[in-house]
Chains A and B, each alone.
Chain A
Amino acid sequence: MNQTASAVSRRSFVAGALGLAGGSLVSGCGGKASSSSDEVTFLNWETLKGTPLEKALAAWEKKSGTKVVVQPTPTADYDTKMRTLLAGGQPPDIMRINDDFVRGFSARGALLDLNKYIRKDKLDVTAYAKESFEFPRQPNGQHTAWVLGYQPRLMFYNVDAFREAKVELPPTTWTMDGWKWGDFADRAKKLTVPGKRWGALVYYDTGYEQTFTINHGSSTGIFSDDGTKFTLAGSTESEALQWATDLTCREKVQPPWSQLQQDGIDNQLFAQGKVAMYFATFGAVPYLRSTIKDFTWDVAPPPGDVQQRTESSVIVFTIPKAAKNPDKAWELLKFLASEEGGRILLEGGQFTPINNAAAAQLGAGGKPPAHLNLFGEAAKHLTAPNQTKNTLGARDLYRPALDDAYNCEKPVRDVLTGVRAQVEKALEG
């Protein structure tokens, strides 16, 4: 068959193929994720659609005339993508960061020191929750991240289950009166109905490690002040963890570890009425509000022992050092931590805004839990694990080891002292 004049010649085809290959290489390797001066790129691990954060970003866009380009990465591989963007020299202007990474990334010089902005804008730092505001401050004085809010942990409880079992309800204020570990365990026993309902669930949320050790009298919790020692393996700390573990192994009032091997199973068990009390963060509130329709639930402070504190997770964003538009990024972060921004974020009922004036407006507003204000009051009762150079590496050593204790095979003390040396080596970074 004769070739028509319009057919592509071999030479043209080859040239085209080469062009395509070259083009794809260029676009793959040289694509710019950077911002123009009138936009801010924003990397987040949650979908923003319909959330208060989306609303807050829109409010700032309107106010500043700057566009916010969101790069949602709602996957388990968020950290991988974040590291890749940093390594490739094309980070976003603002990125959410796991609070455990702040120290390590700061030490590597990846994060911008915000002190110059704080000083330039003469920010009144007393407007913010002190402990959360100070969280990103590094040993060298740099302020390398920005906390938008915090999620304290409280004890969620099924009010109807308490009434049905004729058990006294937990306190509605931050008090240890009648709400110590012994009282908690007694109530858990009375609330347990074999095959139907467990009385309590304490050891699923890893925040219990710091909370319960501190409440038991530990001065440091998981790590020493300088972040080099694994103090969780100490006797006081191990006792605290053993107490929580014994709720399963000895008292039989807590679900076995083998039934808790799924993300979010604690929320599900509570929402299904299969657990009467459980220790969880403020972040569980939206899920419980939307899921629980058939019983009343509320929150209480964690039971006290020597003292009564609770660990809080912090919602942290940061500006990478290589950000293309750090000034605008700072303006956006400042807005999100302002009273106006905080008020918008408060609507999510998911965390306490760092702005005290906004946090003061925290209230149930007719929705459960009735004592939502306890999350706000938690600001006066917070504890936080000391930061280390390699918290994740340390956790990856001691938490799997704790499985043996949680499965009632070994005492907590034995497994923690067994891994202490390895953990402390990991803490060297």
Chain B
Amino acid sequence: MQSLVSAGTTRETPGAATDPARAARRRHNLTGWLFISPIVVGVVAFQFFPILVSMAASLTKWDGISSPEFVGLSNFTDIFTDDPLFYTTLWNTTYFTLASIPLTVGIGFFLAVLCAQRVRGVSFFRTAFFAPYVTNVVAIGFVWFWFFHPSDGVVNGLLGQVGVHGPEWLSSSTWAMPAVIVVSVWQGVGYPMIILLAGLQGIPEMLYESAKIDGASSLARVRYVTLPLLTPHFLFLLITQFISSFQVFGLIYVMTKGGPGHSTSVYIYNLYENAFAYGKMGYACALAWILFAVIASVTYAQWKLQNRWVFYA
């Protein structure tokens, strides 16, 4: 009997090209990798690499111009022990976040309920409420800057109409942050509205009909049907809104430059100033990693706590 080998077939390593299915799969995978390689290269070059550089730079004294000097963890210890602005800006950012998230999500929910009604012209209102969200933050900042002008502004003009003497707003240490929060809520409310509107439209009508048959009032239907079924959307919004609120920068930069007297100086503004005004790149990178730690911790906690209140239908 003629052996297979002497018959001219080549012997190969078991499990290599002799397995046509595996070879095909490998070719298939290689093709996939080739297709996604541009984005992979981009992500590695423009995200992972800068992240690594930032991590390394946080351990150095570096002005971005001369050679970095390794200083270990001293940037971090300086931030916690020797930088009063760190605590001021952390508090201001927390204040901004705690005030703006409930307002943005709450008003967004209210608007979503309104926009879910089947009435003529509702699409106009959906667009109108969402428009500020996609409007340039610089333009918004400038316009509201004028609205809040103490003597010529629209806001104090309207307050004056009802006999209220408006505050100094952006030049008052007390009122500047509330003014920025008002603008932030006005601008940001369209996003939760759209998310919650999508959620509302995904709730089956029969659940409301069942609740009605059981004698549930309108309020009870919202309490026991709408809100529980929207909790996944609320979780998503709380996480994303927290991340964006803690990184607020544009409005502050345009409207107040952190003033008056650091009353609106937020974390990212302080980071930006350290990096680009004072040339403390290493220090700014350390600030960025602390911010990352804060956001990651809070996001993790939010994720873990979802078991207590989020209801997945």
Chain A residues near B (Cβ < 8 Å): 10, 14, 17-18, 20-22, 25, 29, 79-80, 83-84, 86-87, 104-105, 108-110, 256-259, 261-262, 390, 392-393, 396, 400-401, 403-404, 407, 409, 422, 425
Roughly how many angstroms separate A21 CA and B43 CA in the complex, as a whole number?
11
CB neighbours (8 Å) of B173 from chain A are 403-404, 407, 409
**A390-B278, A403-B171 known; A105+B41 contact, CB < 8 A:** no
CB neighbours (8 Å) of A404 from chain B are 173, 260-261
CB neighbours (8 Å) of A10 from chain B are 31
CB neighbours (8 Å) of A109 from chain B are 65-66
Q: Using a Cβ–Cβ cut-off of 8 Å, how many residues does chain B contribute to the interface with A? A: 37
Query: Do B276 and A83 have beta carbons less than 8 Å apart?
Result: yes
Roughly how many angstroms separate A80 CA and B261 CA in the complex, as a whole number?
24
Which residue of B42, B168, B169 contacts A21 across the interface (Cβ within 8 Å)? B42
Does B312 sit at the interface, judged by CB under 8 A? no
Query: Do A25 and B41 have beta carbons less than 8 Å apart?
Result: yes
Query: Do B41 and A108 have beta carbons less than 8 Å apart?
Result: no
Query: Do B42 and A79 have beta carbons less than 8 Å apart?
Result: no
**A105-B65, A262-B145, A407-B260 known; A79+B172 contact, CB < 8 A:** no
Listed stretches B32-40, B127-135, B223-231, B292-300; interface member = B32-40
Query: Do A396 and B273 have beta carbons less than 8 Å apart?
Result: yes
CB neighbours (8 Å) of B37 from chain A are 14, 17-18, 21
Query: Do B168 and A258 have beta carbons less than 8 Å apart?
Result: yes
Does B84 sit at the interface, judged by CB under 8 A? yes
CB neighbours (8 Å) of A87 from chain B are 64-65, 281
CB neighbours (8 Å) of B65 from chain A are 83, 86-87, 105, 108-110
Nearest residue, chain B, Cβ from A409:
B173
Nearest residue, chain A, Cβ from B145:
A262
Which residue of A14, A22, A79, A259 contacts B150 across the interface (Cβ within 8 Å)? A259
Query: Do A400 and B259 have beta carbons less than 8 Å apart?
Result: yes
Which residue of B45, B150, B265, B279 contacts A104 across the interface (Cβ within 8 Å)? B279
In the complex, per-residue mask of B61-84: 1 if CB is within 8 Å of any chain A CB, else 0: 001111000000000000000101
Roughly how many angstroms separate A83 CA and B279 CA in the complex, as a whole number?
8
Roughly how many angstroms separate A399 CA and B277 CA in the complex, as a whole number?
15
CB neighbours (8 Å) of A110 from chain B are 65-66
Q: Please give the distance in Å from B283's CB to the nearest CB on chain A.
A: 11
CB neighbours (8 Å) of A86 from chain B are 64-65
Beyond the given A17-B38, A21-B39, please list 12 additional residue pairs across the A-B interface where CB-CB is below 8 A: A14-B31, A14-B37, A17-B35, A25-B41, A86-B65, A108-B65, A256-B150, A259-B149, A259-B171, A261-B145, A393-B278, A403-B171
Q: Please give the distance in Å from A240's CB to the nearest CB on chain B.
A: 21
Query: Do B260 and A400 have beta carbons less than 8 Å apart?
Result: yes
Query: Do A407 and B168 have beta carbons less than 8 Å apart?
Result: yes
Ordered by A's residue number, 30 sampled pairs between the chains whose C-beta atoms are within 8 Å are: A10-B31, A14-B35, A17-B35, A17-B37, A18-B34, A21-B41, A25-B41, A79-B276, A80-B276, A83-B276, A87-B65, A108-B65, A108-B66, A256-B150, A257-B171, A258-B150, A258-B172, A259-B171, A261-B170, A393-B277, A396-B277, A396-B278, A400-B258, A400-B259, A403-B171, A404-B260, A407-B168, A407-B173, A422-B84, A425-B82
Query: Do A20 and B63 have beta carbons less than 8 Å apart?
Result: no
CB neighbours (8 Å) of B126 from chain A are none
